[in-house]
Structure 1
C-alpha cells in the first residue's frame, strides 16, 4: 500500500483566499484542518482552528496570560472584525514551517518515518506534474495507526490478542 491509497480527501483553499471565508470553512466544514495552497497547487500551510482563535486574543494577553481576567473578550465580534476584508496569508502568525509533503507513491513506512522525524500529526499527499501540484489528500497519524492495527481485509475492529506470560 502507498500514501495515495490511504490519503483522505481534505479541503484546500488558495493562500490568498478571504480570511473570513477560510474561518467559516474550517468552522462549519467536516475537516479539522485546511490545506492552504499556492497558485501552482503546492501546499504552503496546514491551518488548524487554534490559529483563528489566536487572532481573537490581543498580543499583550498572549504575552501576559495573567491579564486574561482583566480583559473583557468579545471573541466573535473581534474575530470577524480582524478577518473582514483580509487575505488569510497575512493574518497568520509568523511563518510556520512548510507542511510535510509526500508523493502518492511513498510507502507507508516512508510516511511513518516522515511523521516521526517531523513531530507532525499529518502529511499532505501531493501529486506533481511539471509546474503544478495537486493535493491528493492527507494522512494523519491516527489514520496510519488505524490502518496498521486493522485486521487483514479491513473488516471490523482488530481483535486484540492477549499475551500470556510463559513460566520457565
Structure 2
C-alpha cells in the first residue's frame, strides 16, 4: 500500500485566510488539520486543529488549567471570538516545524514515521513538480494498518 492508494482530496487555506473560517472548515468537515498553502501555492505547513485552539484559548488557561475551571460558562463559550480578525499566519507556531510532505510512492511505514516524527495528523502528497495532489490523514492510515 502506497500514499497514492490512501490519499484523498483535501481542503486548503492560505496564510492570509481567516482563522475563524479555518476553524469552521475544521469543524464542518471534521478535519484533523488543514494544509496551509504559501504565497507560491505550494504547501507551507500543516495547521493542526489543536494549534487553532492554542490561539483561541487564553494563555493563562493553558499555563494553569485550574484557572480555566473558574471561568464561568458564558465567558468560556466566547473564547473562539478572540480569533475574529486574525489570520492563519498568526495561528502558526513561532518556530517552523518539519513540513510533513511525501511523494505518492511512500509506504505506509514511511507515512506513519513521518506523522509520528512531525506530530502531524496528516501528510501532504506532492507530485514531481511539488504540487499538492492530495493528503493522507491519520484516520486513513490507521484504518489501513488496523485492517491488515
Q: TM-score, normalised by structure 1?
A: 0.69
How many Å apart are 1:97 and its aligned residue?
1.1
Query: What is the match of residue 40 of structure 2?
Result: 40
Query: What is the match of residue 135 of structure 1?
Result: 132
Q: Contact 2:12–2:37 at 8 Å: present in 1 too?
A: yes
**Structure 2: tracts of 5 or more residues without a match:** none
Partner SS for 1:144: helix
- Alignment partners' CA distance in 2, 1:64 and 1:28: 30
Q: Contact 1:8–1:139 at 8 Å: present in 2 too?
A: yes
Between stretches 42-51 and 59-68, larger displacement belongs to 42-51
- Alignment partners' CA distance in 2, 1:93 and 1:114: 19
Query: What is the match of residue 67 of structure 1?
Result: 67
- Alignment partners' CA distance in 1, 2:65 and 2:42: 36
Q: TM-score, normalised by structure 2?
A: 0.76
- The 5 A counterparts of 1:5-154 are 5-72=5-72, 74-80=75-81, 82-115=82-115, 117-118=117-118, 120-129=120-129, 133-148=130-145, 150=147
**Structure 1: tracts of 5 or more residues without a match:** 152-168
Rg larger in structure? 1
Distance 1:67 1:33, change over 3 A: same
Runs of 4+ in 1 over 6 A off after TM superposition: none
- Alignment partners' CA distance in 2, 1:60 and 1:115: 30
- Alignment partners' CA distance in 2, 1:84 and 1:44: 23
Partner SS for 1:125: strand
Deviations 1:62-86 (A, max 9, x none): 1122222333352443312x22222
Q: Contact 2:13–2:36 at 8 Å: present in 1 too?
A: yes
- Alignment partners' CA distance in 1, 2:30 and 2:139: 16
Q: Which has the higher contact order (CA 8 A, sep 6+)?
A: 2
Distance 1:63 1:117, change over 3 A: closer
Query: Aligned pairs, how many?
Result: 147
Partner SS for 2:133: strand
